[in-house]
Amino acid sequence: MTDGQDAQPTLLTETEAAGLLRLSPRTLQGFRVRGGGPPFVKLGQRVLYRVADLDSYVEAQQRRSTSEGS
């Protein structure tokens, strides 16, 4: 599935999403169990991530100091 303009996929696999976020796939798995990670889509047995959701997740993680809450 692509958005048509730049032929970049709009849905990423767990491995692709982890690579984009520079996290391990196990970290994303942990987020899904405990919560607190990016939103995901479940299609049958497959777990996929929307690029727009990953972008929003990264933006929401921005901090100005280490004393800011998580």
60: left (phi over 0), alpha (psi -120 to 50) or beta: alpha
pLDDT tens track for 12-60: 999 999 999 999 999 999 999 999 999 999 999 999 999 999 999 999 9
pTM of the model: 0.81
Lowest mean pLDDT across 3-7, 26-30, 57-61, 65-69: 3-7
The whole-number pLDDT of residue 7 equals 66
Do 10 and 2 meet the contact criterion of CB atoms below 8 Å apart? yes
